[in-house]
Homo-oligomer: A and B are copies of this chain.
């Protein structure tokens, strides 16, 4: 028996095509969707709940010096090994909202409303994706900042330059605050990029927040169950976090690595945005050896959404094994 659609439609062979089947109405082709799904994802850590919320993705031509100590060809090879297009790089951003059970805590805030406008929505999606997740910025109790780069702090302010989380205490690493608010440190910056980082930090924290911040020290809980961990090098006060509840925990690495296909695979490579590249590498190796030894879940600000998984050794580097998406909590 060889059944073809032609046979079937003609009512041939064993297939009945009922003449009573109502005629489908004439329709134009369904339009292609123009928006991605709202990019938020929830998981539990003991009694706490983490919501990873994408701030979007920034795709740009691969800079010659994206990795300070590797050739562009080597970086392209790492991208191709990970089935990514070469000669460009896509940087992802994933702030968090943690519900500790008692407190609603934002960890880092994304590129902010200005970037949303200038990128035509490619980045600066934190606010809209948080709204899609049903989380009210007015209900946020605390905002914890890992470090003072713009993609982490610019979302602290609305387009009108007022606090995006109006009832939240804003917590910042003490060492980061000391460094970036120091006029002497600012005066010694030689590059336009670093001058810009200082200027932007002061725009947000001084002009915007009027210095109403609470510095925190590494080793202390900054919120219930959320411990700050010094992970210096990317910036002078860069902080990671361990969220613990019962026997469950996750390591929130912040920027210990940038894109995993490049820097988890090659921990010795130095990102152009690491302020002290050697210290950043030492931190990276220490953190990733710990993640491997403890088989601890890790959440990465620059991992592709939903930006969490586990780490295994792979040759001289490591491999991120993304955690499977669960369609139930």
Contact = CB atoms under 8 A, between A and B. Distances in A.
A148 interface: no
Nearest to A34: B329
A210 B139 CA distance: 54
Interface stretch (A25-33, A60-68, A281-289): A25-33
Given A210-B18, A215-B8, A101 B32 contact: yes
B36 A327 contact: yes
Contacts of A321: 82-83
A125 B133 CA distance: 18
Interface string A104-123: 10000000000000000110
A139 B56 contact: no
A141 B29 CA distance: 9
Given A32-B49, A104-B29, A5 B83 contact: no
Interface-centre pick from A34, A51, A83, A129 (highest chain B CB count, 10 A): A83
Taking residues whose C-beta sits less than 8 angstroms from the other chain, chain A's interface range is 35 or more
Contact of A328 (B17, B38, B57, B310): B57
Chain A binding surface SS class: loop
Interface stretch (A69-77, A174-182, A185-193): A174-182
Contacts of A42: 33, 36-37
A318 to B, nearest CB: 13
Contacts of A38: 37-38
Contacts of A216: 4-5
A172 to B, nearest CB: 9
Contact of A92 (B178, B215, B324): B324
A217 B34 contact: no
Interface in A127-153: 129, 132-135, 139, 141
Contacts of A54: 325, 327
B324 A39 contact: no
Nearest to A213: B15
Q: Which 9 residue pairs of A and B lie closest in terms of their CB atoms, listed nearest first?
A: A304-B324, A3-B215, A24-B167, A83-B310, A54-B327, A39-B327, A3-B174, A30-B104, A29-B102
5 contacts: A5-B220, A8-B214, A18-B210, A30-B139, A32-B49
Interface of A: 1-5, 7-9, 14-18, 21-22, 24-25, 27, 29-30, 32-42, 49, 51, 54-57, 82-84, 90, 92, 99, 101-104, 121-122, 125, 129, 132-135, 139, 141, 166-167, 171, 174, 177-178, 181, 210-217, 220, 295, 304-306, 309-310, 321-329
